[in-house]
Amino acid sequence: MNLKQNKSQKLIPLIIIQGPTAVGKSSLAVKIAEELDSSIISADSRQVYKYLNIGTAKPTLEEQQKIKHHLIDIVEPDEEYNAGTFAVDADKLIKKISSQNKIPIVCGGTGFYVKALLEGIFNAPEIPIDIRNSLRETAKEKGTEFFYNKLKIIDPESAMRINKNDANRIIRALEIFETTGKTITQLWKEDTEEQRNFQTINIMITEDREILYERINNRVDKMIDNGLFNEMKELVESGYKRTDPGMNTVGYKELYPFLNGDAELVDCIDKIKQNTRNFAKQQFTWYRKIDFDLTFDRKSINFLNVFNEIMRKLQEK
């Protein structure tokens, strides 16, 4: 394809690969990156955290040696990282990769990150300390479920994309509403007029849900066999707490009851599987709102055909 023509139009070619967890996005991205001699920008809100390797299904060392992966292992588990930060970081990397006359590839299952990259993100207000303290005290008394049900009434769109057990994000959404009188969804629509200069090919990898759920169950079993519990235990022994952003990750947070002697390991493993399946369900719901350029069913993917389709689409745009 003629990258010079795209540059004259000030549009940067960009390949984005999305899809539910465990569907095989990363392996396809690696093959495409190899073919294009490019690199991959991870759009995964969990893989940014250092030391959380097994439970976040980070690319293998072999894959990372083959292809450069960006925005993996960049923050400590007790540090915050959000969609706005990702959008800034990814935008810089896209421009850098493109300046080398290569096509950047964004790959990941955090749809909100991709949305922030392509459409921008609203400027969140500063939260008064009294509102923050009040909500967090109430959360201790009434639990996460109480606030999640409240969020479903106030801002159903935000509730749909936030995991019902993600206390930090649920409280954050309610903090913003209490401060501004507006929901995150409202603020997003009012404040996200920025459009990136990307010539984007947005790709969806999908699979039959029952088959995907079985893949998820098998993958969790493999993670346990590969030492997920020991990895989580080492994180706790290193001083990271249950309330740290990185430790509020599916695959890790469910193991706390076993670590504390409050539950059997088999029950915690079943909880990981259930929460991962629920996450995949939320991803399917999110993706239904997106008009993808190309959609491929995992079981019928032929790499050569997929690659040719991507190149054809880029030429058309």
Residue that wins the pLDDT comparison between 125 and 151: 151
pLDDT digits (tens, 9 = 90+) for 164-209: 888 888 999 999 999 999 998 888 777 655 557 899 999 999 999 9
Residue that wins the pLDDT comparison between 6 and 302: 302
Residue 201: alpha-carbon gap to chain centroid: 18
pTM, whole model, 2 decimals? 0.80
Alpha-carbon distance 79 to 219, whole Å?
A: 27
pLDDT mean across residues, the chain = 92
Helices 184-191 and 167-180: crossing angle, nearest 10°? 70
Phi-psi region of 269 (alpha: psi -120 to 50; beta: other; left: phi over 0): alpha
Give the domains, in start order, of the chain with CATH numbers.
3-121+192-316 (3.40.50.300), 129-191 (1.10.20.140)
pLDDT digits (tens, 9 = 90+) for 269-301: 999 999 999 999 999 999 999 999 999 999 999
| Contacts with 217 (C-beta within 8 Å, 6 or more apart), sequence order | 273, 277
